[in-house]
Structure 1
Amino acid sequence: MQAGEVEQFFQQNGAYRFARWGRPIVPVVFGVDDASLALVKGGIEAVVLLAGHKMAETDPELGANLLLFFLRDWDELTAVPGLSEMLGDVPSLVARLQARGANQYRTFRFDDGGAIKACFAFVRMDAALADLPAETVALGQAVHAILAWGEGAFAERPALVDAQGAAALHPEVAALIRAAYDPLLPNAAADASHALRLAARVL
């Protein structure tokens, strides 16, 4: 993978912006049954292990820092207590998501150094997602939460591929995630020269 290709994964509004987690990940999942919960957490654990990062039982500042909500309709967000503290004007957000026909939305919070300190992810289980195996949905959400990807990160290269009937990370995406968590690299970067350092580590 060339530096220019790496750079495209982290383009935000025309600028390079890279961020990875700077603390252990503590997930909480809402809106799924016990069997699906195990699959979602298993997907997160697999991607965190791939990255060489850590998980924990609790975050000393936030309690949980990766919150995943599975919904049937975006209107359900208006009934979630305290959500406006995380997302701001929830009714306006719901209207925008409905207008776009979106089935996913996520937003990150960053610490003073620019590293990810929290991620809030919302998945509306529309027909397209409902047709996918639960393991595929879980793995996809884990990939999207492990780094603050740019808007068009997976336009040219999908995050997941079919591996003998089961979902697996695209090999180059997996290599990029591993490279992104190299301990010699910073948790956050806003200079595109960082993409050169990432590309040199993508094996």
Structure 2
Amino acid sequence: MARLSPEEIEALFTRTDGSYGFARWGRPIAPIVFGVQEETLAMVKGAVEAVVTLAGHQMAETDPELGSNLMVFFFREWDELLDVPDLGRMIPGLEPLVARLRNADATQYRAFRFDDQGGIQACFVFLRMNEAMAQIPAEGLVLAQAVQAILVWGDHAFSETSPLAVLPETGATVLRPEIAGVIAAGYDRMMPVAANDASHALRLFARLQGPEGS
């Protein structure tokens, strides 16, 4: 398996302003998907379940506070979000956010909410299915979104290198093993649910050197 250096791990959780920020879910994940047909719904939930299992985390049918805490929206135009009931209450500043994403011609966006310990409380995933996005194989698209929702990554973590790889023998899309290792290490029960110090990356690196990372 390819090994990431401490510096490469740190870069995965470094924000645009240079600060370090890591967070994982502090509660079981209860997903819901809007705007897709039944077969895509099953694919999204299957991808989330696969990544959650890898992390050693838990799924749930419902969240006691929110009902669902991982909400995935598929749509064609950003303005459609303004018509979603109660979304503006869950995401403050929704109107200017939609305007900014529309003007940037963005195709995806994730918004997180956090609990008192800094762990992920909820995640909202928005996917604008323009022509380019529609060309991406659904299996890879939903797996990539599950990976990016399981942790709070840095702003440019996967801007140059996808977290996924295609197996040449079968053509199947899989999670790159080094990224899978980082996710599993991040959910180690001895690790904090959130961290803002780059020394956290060294602790992740140390866990990747053990039997589970080999």
Q: What range is the shorter-chain TM-score in?
A: over 0.9
Which of 189, 206, 209 lines up with 1:200 in the alignment? 206
Distance in 2 separating the partners of 1:149 and 1:192 = 13
Deviates more, 1:157-166 or 1:167-176: 157-166
Distance in 1 separating the partners of 2:139 and 2:37 = 14
Aligned to 1:142: 146
- Compute the RMSD of aligned alpha carbons: 1.1
Q: Does 1:7 align with 2:10?
A: yes
Which of 41, 63, 71 lines up with 1:67 in the alignment? 71
Q: Does 1:186 align with 2:192?
A: yes
The percent identity for this pair of structures is 57
Distance in 1 separating the partners of 2:160 and 2:134 = 24
Secondary structure at the residue paired with 2:144?
helix
Distance in 2 separating the partners of 1:155 and 1:2 = 18
Q: Does 1:157 align with 2:171?
A: no
Aligned to 1:169: 175
TM (normalized to structure 1)? 0.96
Q: CA deviation at 1:140?
A: 1.0
Equivalent AA in structure 2 for residue 104 of structure 1: Q
Distance in 1 separating the partners of 2:75 and 2:113 = 22
Q: CA deviation at 1:157?
A: 3.1
Distance in 2 separating the partners of 1:165 and 1:30 = 28
Gaps of 5+ in 1: none
Distance in 1 separating the partners of 2:109 and 2:78 = 10
Secondary structure at the residue paired with 2:61?
coil
Q: CA deviation at 1:156?
A: 4.4
Q: How does 1:21-100 map to 2 (within 5 A)?
A: 21-100=25-104
Secondary structure at the residue paired with 1:11?
coil
Q: CA deviation at 1:60?
A: 1.2
Spell out structure 1 runs of 4+ moving beyond 3 A: none
Deviates more, 1:51-60 or 1:161-170: 161-170
Q: CA deviation at 1:127?
A: 1.7
Counting matched residue pairs gives 203
Gaps of 5+ in 2: none
Equivalent AA in structure 2 for residue 52 of structure 1: G
Deviates more, 1:26-35 or 1:7-16: 7-16
